[in-house]
Amino acid sequence: KDWQEINHDSRRVLQRRWEAWKDGTSAAPSAPSRPRRVGASIAVHPPKFYAASHFLASWAACPAAFEALAVYLVFTDQRDYELFLRAQACMDPGLSHDLWTPVVALEPERGWGHGGSMSQVIAAYKKWHGIARMMDQGSDAPEYGLLLDSELALFEPSGGYAGTGGASVAGAAGSAEMCGQDGFWSRLLDRIRAAEASKLWPAARVSSTLTTYNFGGKVRSGKDYDRTLIAENIWLVIGQAHLAKCQEPGCLQIKRQHQDVLFSWWTDLPWVNVGVAKRFFETVAKTPNGGGDSSSSSSGPAGAAAAGGWRAFARSIRFTRFEYMAYQQYCALREGFRFWDVTNITGEAKWGSYLEDPQPGARLADLRPMWVSMEALSRTISGTIPPLSKEAPPLLIFHVDHEACRIAPGLDVEKRLWEKLLLELLAKQGRTDFNKDSIKL
């Protein structure tokens, strides 16, 4: 019944994939031709397994993406990892799990926590844990890591799916323009290096009038709420007491971000330099909000490795939600970066990143972001905002589960099939932590 109810395009995408595996005609790669310099740390949990699986299929089918990007899937525990493997063997049996790196997170010293915003904090911890796994590779570590959620797809400017208006996400093999030997994905490392060399974090002011939040009767504007999120990351990086008195240029940058509410989270692909991330870990481990135990980090990188590696070191750090802003603030404080106010290009942000909910007329092409949201892509299709750059298009789409998955053929049915399969497997494991409602979240 579920299969018959889904639309024809979605059925066709899945049928093609399954038939390719059955006939042995799938072009899934076996190994990259050279060491990858960029790794994606992707936090996953059962309700989002379908999205991780969908992304893996598109990534493996795009030769240039597969060559450029190593994928690290970060699981909360061993049970979740084994659950994903069992379900993936059913849903995408031809895609070898040897193509990507599993990371089972070490539980934080203070436990996982529950309720409220803890789900965001847990996701942040897991993303940083994936970066720590890269750091533990020593000389074999990637040069850069990406802090990602699982709802991802590869951008495909040439389209090819009904109703996409000339843009889509990759469903099977991507185009030569994106995925060929000299396609845009082959330039990922160079684009990240150029972004780092610029020492600029694009950010836009958040509006005090475009939207409001109601927290149990207390109404807050997007600007007011996002200032709180910026502050949470500042307290992790520098501590509230020091911020009040510091006057060095980097500290003034952070104060400006907080005062003007320049929201910099996810305004471009969230990359981190793995070497800089080590210094970031050492710094935040010493702040009161980050953990405050200076003895755990006083011996520096060699001590961290000797004590059990960076993953073990990270267990004591209380990472914040909207975690990328903390890294950006650290780079402003210690690495010479500045916050670049692009409000004149994007308009004020309604809430969060201007890429998440771009306002009419936002000229994203001027900024050439390496990723965009599903909402931004939809608005280029509708003409609400100008087209994206053709010379340097995005490589990834985030929030691919939004907009009813309408430009990711097959994702809607994959989600429903994954939910049913996972509930059956969870029951066989004797697990009760997910039910027919929570598995959809």
The two three-digit tokens of residue 395, written as one number: 């490589």
Query: HSE of 272 in the Cβ direction (CA atoms, 13 Å)?
Result: 33
Cβ 267 vs Cβ 355: under 8 Å: yes
Task: Give the model's pLDDT for residue 241.
Answer: 81
Cβ 369 vs Cβ 268: under 8 Å: yes
Q: How confident is the model at residue 70 (pLDDT cuts 50, 70, 90)?
A: very high
**pLDDT (average), residues 61-90:** 97
The two three-digit tokens of residue 378, written as one number: 């939809």
Question: For all residues of the chain together, what is the average pLDDT?
Answer: 88
| Three-state SS at 338 | strand
Task: Give the model's pLDDT for residue 295.
Answer: 44
Q: pTM for this structure?
A: 0.92
Q: What gap in Å lies between CA 193 and CA 386, rounded to an integer? A: 27
Q: Which of 2-11, 183-192, 280-289, 429-438 has the lowest mean pLDDT?
A: 2-11
Q: Provide the CA 153 distance to its chain's centre, in angstroms.
A: 11
| Three-state SS at 69 | strand
204 phi/psi in degrees, rounded to 5 = -125, 150
**pLDDT (average), residues 279-302:** 71
Cβ 275 vs Cβ 353: under 8 Å: no
